[in-house]
Every structure is written in structure tokens, then in C-alpha cells.
Amino acid sequence: MTQITDISNETHESTVEGDECGPFRYLNMQITRASDYAVRVMIHLAGLSPASTVRRSVLSRATGVPKAFLSKVLQQLVRSGLVRSRRGSGGGFELAVFAENVSMLDVIEAIEGPTRMNQCLVDGPSCERKSWCPGHGVWVEAQAALVGVLGAASIASLARGAKRNLALRYSSHHWPVPISGMPTSRGSGQPVRGSVP
């Protein structure tokens, strides 16, 4: 019997003897790099001022996502309606939805499709062992936990966490970190202690 697996958006075939669930597709247990990048992009966009846009090159530097890969991720996020692209001199990318209404699960499923840990979790006659298999209940419980955790993590709360972490990172330096727009001591190039940008 042929089993088809979908790993990192590539199709692989393997022969499985005695598989009573039949030919199927399932997601790799590991979230792909594309989903990780998409979550980074959404968190960064959610941290921007309302109605502001960011260019792809700036987004690439801020998120650590290679430009070539970022283009593909942005295309999928735009297609899914989570991100909007604006053309022109003041153009760039922005959120197309309220960050409070979007979860990590929404972002991952925009990239990967529906999250299923096992074929038996798909509705309908996906596996004839489903009604009596002792492992099915465990898969159901694991799936619920995964969806619960990812679904409870809103992009807005993650963006707030990113801002707090950034503030802590800068406050841990012995010397102030130069930030554009912050007044500096004459000739030193170092920010004036206690100054606020």
C-alpha cells in the first residue's frame, strides 16, 4: 500500500504493508520554517503603529528572514487575508486584520493548511481503525492540546511580549545602546544618560 506524506511542502511516497487507513496525506510533526517565518512577520507587523507599513527589506532585517524566502511567505499571508500589500512610495506591508483576532494557529494554518497530528483526526472515514483503536483517544487529546495552546496565543499579545523583551535586552547593557533620534553627548556618539528618544 502507498502512503503519501507531505513534509515541508514536498510529496514523498513510501510503501506500507498492512495499512488499514489507506493512502493519505499528513503533516509532518515539525512545523516548517515557512510557518516560523510567518509568525515572526506577523508579530513584527503587529508591533508597528496602526496603519503604518514596512518595506520587505526592512522586514527581512527585523525578522531575520532571508529576502527570497520572505517574498514567498508574504505572498501566502497576503493570499490568506492576514497581510495587505501597498504599492507606491509610501508602500509596503501591513496587517490586514486586528492582531487581537489572530492566533499563532491562524498564521500556521495560513501557511500549512489544517493542522492534523494524525490521519485519524480528519473527519469522515479517514481510518477504519478509528472507532476501536486504543491510540485514537490519545491522538485526539494531543491534537486538542496543540490547537489549544497555539489558538490561545494571540499575535497582539506576542507583539507586546516582543516589545517588553526588547526593552529588557537594551536595559541589560552597562552602556546605553545608541538609538536613532536619541540625543548624544557631544563628540562621544553615546546617548545622554537618562535621555528619552
Tens-place pLDDT, residues 9-26: 443 333 344 455 554 454
Range 79-90 average pLDDT: 90
Distance CA 83, CA 46 (A): 10
Helix axes 155-171, 33-46, angle to 10 degrees: 80
Q: What is the pLDDT of residues 30-41, one digit of tens each?
A: 688 999 999 999
What is the chain's Cα-based Rg? Answer: 22
Q: What is the pLDDT of residue 14?
A: 37
Specify the fold of 31-118+145-173. Arc Repressor Mutant, subunit A (1.10.10)
Domain with CATH 1.10.10.10 in the chain: 31-118+145-173
